[in-house]
Amino acid sequence: MATENKNLSQYNKNTIPDAKNFRFGIVVSEWNQKITQGLFQGAFDAFIDCGVVKENIVRWDVPGSFELIYGCKKMQESFDMLDAVIAIGSVIKGETEHFHFVCDGVTQGIKDLNIKSDIPVIFCVLTDNIIQQSIDRSGGKHGNKGTEAAIAAIKMAQLRKEAKF
């Protein structure tokens, strides 16, 4: 497993671009809310730690992970001043094939948003087999994937800024 023996919350602030003037959107799935709230908190805390002004973080909630695509698209369209968007969700495998359809749809949808828009969307959707794996990656023993997503968003915002010149 990719995250075994790795804490997702560790980053070196000296290698992170200055984020104080960036503006970020975060779209959060309400499904598996305990997990998604933990991921949001990890992203929010990392943004603040890296100098992002609280007022420059916009949060929207959507019912489930499949709705993240539409939420991110609308956020891209509504806030042209955003530098990046994070899609936060959690899909836990159940007894049916629904898990695979949702995971594939969300992955492809977020990929499509990155192709079609100038505002990067960071994929922060946990796709775990059991709830404990999600807990471990949303503030548990493996740290917080939301933190990792925030650092990726800052780096992509900087790339977007530099690519405009």
Catalytic residues: 98
CATH of the domain at 45: 3.40.50.960
12 within a domain of the structure (yes/no): no
139 within a domain of the structure (yes/no): yes
4 within a domain of the structure (yes/no): no
Please report where in the chains the tokens 């499509």 appear, as a residue. 112
pLDDT tens for the chain, 165 residues: list them.
Answer: 455 556 658 899 999 999 999 999 999 999 999 999 999 999 999 999 999 999 999 999 999 999 999 999 999 999 779 999 999 999 999 888 888 999 999 999 999 999 999 999 999 999 999 999 999 999 999 999 999 999 999 999 999 999 875
Domain containing 68 equals 20-163
26 within a domain of the structure (yes/no): yes
152 within a domain of the structure (yes/no): yes
d(CA 5, CA 97) in angstroms, rounded, equals: 30
8 within a domain of the structure (yes/no): no
| Kind and range of the H or E run holding 86 | strand 84-92
pTM for the full predicted model: 0.93
Tally of domains in the chain: 1
